[in-house]
Amino acid sequence: MNGDYKGDDGLPLEWYINTARFYGQLRNIRIDMRLSVPRARTAGLHYQVAQATSLKNVKILATKGT
């Protein structure tokens, strides 16, 4: 995201929404990032705040440089 954009608080906009996650499960997910722009700042999974949660059978596919 372009750092020139500002939120209501005057700080740069974030590419995610700050949330808390409780008692959640992510299962059987395949994240394919192979077609992303090389050397771009990307995230296959943003798992910021989590309590009593689990990740199971998660595959992140990427090529060199992504």
pTM: 0.58
Residue-wise pLDDT for 23-56, tens only, equals: 888 899 999 988 888 777 787 887 777 788 889 9
Q: What share of the chain is helix, strand, coil (3-state, %, to 5)?
A: 0, 35, 65
Range 7-27 average pLDDT: 74
pLDDT class of 59 with cuts at 50, 70, 90:
very high
Residue 1 has pLDDT above 50, yes or no: no
Closest to 22 in 3D by CA, of 59, 42, 52: 52
What does the block give as tokens for 54? Answer: 């689990």
**Residue 18: what pLDDT?**
63
Contacts of 21 (CB under 8 A, 6+ apart): 47, 49, 50, 51, 53
Extents of the domains making up the chain? 20-61
